[in-house]
Amino acid sequence: MTSTSQARALLAQHGALESQPATDWRGDFALPAPLEVYYREIGPLGDFINDKVGHSGVSIPTVGNPFDLPPLARLWDLQAGYRWHGVTKQRLEDWDDDWLVIADQGADPFIFHRQTGEILFAQHGGGAWNPSAIFTDVVTMTACLATVGSVHNEAEDDLWTEDESVNPRFRAILETKLTAILGSGSAATALADLLEW
C-alpha cells in the first residue's frame, strides 16, 4: 500500500501542495475522514489564480485531457454538473448521495464513495452514470495518476509513434511503475488500458 508521503512526493512533481484544514470544506455534509487526511497530508493546491477564484488545483498531464485535482476549498464546486445542475442548481436524481467527485479528466469523474472509501470512475455522455471501482482509496489514486503524469513528462516528444498510438516503450514503463504501486501486473495493465495508454 502506498503511503501518503509517497503519494505526496509523486504529486509534487505536478504542482504546488499545501496542507489544507477541514475548515476549507464547503459541502453540505461532513468531510469524510479519508479526504480530511488526504487534504491535510497530500494537499493538492496548484497555482494561485486570483482573489475570487483562489488556487487552481493540480493538473496532471496524460494522453488526452489532464487529470485535475482541486484544492479542498473548490471541491464542493466541482460537484456542479454531477450532484446538481450547473445552472438551475437543482439536485440531479441519478447521482448517488454517497458519491463525491474528487478529480476529473475532461468531465469524466473520479468519485470517492463515502461508504466504502473506494474511488470509482465513470465516463460522461452515456445517458446514465455507471461508475466502476478503479482504486481502493484516494492515496492509491493520487499515486497512480501522478505516476501517469511523470511517465508522460518523461516521454516528451517520444510518447507517440508514427501511427499516433502510445509508444510501447513508455506503455511498458508505465505498467512497471503502476505494478509497483498496485501490487499486480494485471491491475496495472487494466488501468493503463482504461486510461487509454
Domain boundaries of the chain, sorted by first residue: 4-137, 141-194
Closest CA to 58 of 109, 11, 112: 11
Asked if residue 193 has pLDDT above 90, the reply is yes
pLDDT in tens, 98-156: 999 999 999 999 999 999 999 999 998 777 889 999 999 999 999 999 999 999 999 99
Cα separation, 195 vs 197, whole angstroms: 6
Name, in order, each residue with C-beta under 8 angstroms of 3's C-beta and a sequence gap of 6 or more: 139
Architecture of domain 4-137: 3-Layer(aba) Sandwich (3.40)
Cα separation, 120 vs 130, whole angstroms: 9
CB 11 within 8 A of CB 142: yes
Residue 53: the pLDDT is 65
What's the predicted TM-score (pTM) here? 0.94
Q: Considering only residues 42 and 89, tell me which one the structure prediction assigns the higher pLDDT.
A: 42
Cα torsion angle, 22, 137, 139, 157, sign: negative
Closest CA to 118 of 132, 104, 97: 132
